[in-house]
Amino acid sequence: MGSKGGSKHMKRLASPNYMKLERKQSKFILKPMPGRHTLDSSVALATFLIEKLGVAKTAAEARNAIINGKVEINGRVRKNQKYPIGLGDVVKLIPSDESYLITVGKYGTFEGKKLGKGEGKRTLKVLGKYIMKGKKQMIRLNNGNIVHFDKEVSVNDSVIIENRKISKVLRLEKGAHCMVMKGVHAPEVGKISEIKQGTALRDTTIKIESKEGSFETIVDNILVIGA
């Protein structure tokens, strides 16, 4: 028997904790399309408009606004109601000229932070890199984008995106400031005091000093936000 493939639907009761949704409000919730973000780290665009911003009361209202080009993601109009949005994305409502940066709340749940006019910088994590023809270095970011960058950068470093271009690299190193993206310490901010390199069987761990005290977490859970 052939593989059935993934389900096209999602029940609220089974939705990832990241979405932080009311579980008993209705039976089903719109499932994000696969691609740039993983299922447990994204929400569908229409869900964000209804559940988080409240600018649409029903799925039909959200769908009409999206199809009519009234919503931008990272500077581009997106017309798919299932378009996935996650950490580091900027959602702009064209009619009201309001923008929201997707960040993390307590325990790494989904949050939308309203931006002031002129604010548009994004800090994204480097998840991978490779060399293309012509010795072009391409880097893969945590929002699914792959961009050309010819300067030195390492996996787990962060880059600041401004006007769709990389303006600065933030190194993963001792003394750097970081934010915890996942786990019980999210979204605490602190300074890296120690980096314990991992092995083939053990993840690299980071010791962080914050206002709440010191703790350790794996490197996958943090985002470098400052030098």
**pLDDT tens across 207-224, in order?**
999 988 899 999 999 999
pLDDT at position 138 is 94
pTM of the predicted model as reported, rounded to 2 decimal places: 0.84
Residues of the chain with pLDDT under 70: 1-6
Rounded Cα distance between 38 and 84, Å, is: 9
Q: Where are the domains of the chain?
A: 10-115, 122-169, 177-226
pLDDT at residue 20 in the model: 78
pLDDT at position 179 is: 94
Task: Give me the amino acid identity at 178.
Answer: C
The CATH number of domain 10-115 is 3.10.290.10 = yes
- What does the block give as tokens for 7? 């389900």
Q: Taking a C-beta distance cutoff of 8 angstroms, is the pair 143, 126 a contact?
A: no
* CATH code linked to domain 177-226: 2.30.30.30
44 with 82: CB under 8 angstroms?
yes
Structure tokens at 5: 């493939």
Contacts of 30 (CB under 8 A, 6+ apart): 10, 44, 46, 47, 59, 81, 82
Contact 110, 167 (CB under 8 A): no
pLDDT of residue 91: 93
Contact 43, 14 (CB under 8 A): no
Contacts of residue 17, defined as CB under 8 A and 6 or more positions apart, other chains included, come to 107, 108, 109
pLDDT, residue 125, reads 95
- Whether CATH 1.10.540.10 fits 122-169: no
The pLDDT, as a whole number, for residue 189 is: 94
> What confidence score (pLDDT) does residue 24 get?
72
Rounded CA gap, 13 and 30, in Å? 13
- What is the DSSP secondary-structure string of 135-146? GEEEEEETTS-E
**Count of other CB atoms within 10 angstroms of residue 169:** 17
> Is the sign of the CA dihedral 76, 77, 79, 82 positive or negative?
positive
Q: What is the CA radius of gyration of the chain?
A: 19
Position 104: which residue type? V
